[in-house]
Every structure is written in C-alpha cells, then in structure tokens.
Amino acid sequence: MNMKNLSLPLVALTFLVLAGCATQTVVTLQNGTQYLTKDIPKTKTADGFYEFTDIAGKHIRVKADDVATVRKED
C-alpha cells in the first residue's frame, strides 16, 4: 500500500483521539450563571480566583466565593 493512502486516516484518527481527551466542565456561580468550559478549570489561585476558558475562547476569572459548583458535563 502507498504510504500517502495510510497517512490521512491516521491523522484523522489522531485528532479524534485527542478531541476525546478534553473534559467539558460546567461552572455554576452563586447567581445561577453557568459557564461551559473546554477543560477542567484551574483550582483556586493564591489570590482566591478560579480561572478558565469558556467554549467560545473567552478567558474568565471569577472569585472563588462566587462559584457554587464545578462539575463535568453530562
């Protein structure tokens, strides 16, 4: 078999496997606002904030006291 014919399916398979590694997470604030993140957010930083990137690519920083729950999306 030609190596070029095998490379495209292998590349596609690699991207599918890597896409499965990200764990979408729902961050719910005390006021009911929910953020869907690409991955598990960084835990509380030294200055008392959670930092994460939502699925739109926006960087979010919230006070830890304002966070009600952090859970994996079902």
How confident is the model at residue 23, as a pLDDT?
Answer: 79
Tokens 């495209």, located at residue: 8
Q: Do the domain assignments include residue 52? A: yes
The tally of CA atoms less than 13 A away on the side-chain side of residue 36 is 6
CATH code assigned at 68:
2.30.30.100
Question: Domain span at residue 41?
Answer: 22-73
How confident is the model at residue 17, as a pLDDT?
Answer: 44
Check: CB of residue 43 under 8 Å from CB of residue 6.
no
Q: Do the domain assignments include residue 57? A: yes
Q: Tell me the whole-structure pTM to 2 decimals.
A: 0.64
Share of the chain above pLDDT 90, in %: 32
How confident is the model at residue 68, as a pLDDT?
Answer: 92
Check: CB of residue 55 under 8 Å from CB of residue 22.
no
| Residue partners of 61: CB distance under 8 A and separation at least 6 | 49, 50, 51
* Count of the separate structural domains present in the chain: 1
Summarize pLDDT for 29-62 with one digit per residue, the tens.
Answer: 999 999 999 888 877 678 889 888 889 999 999 9
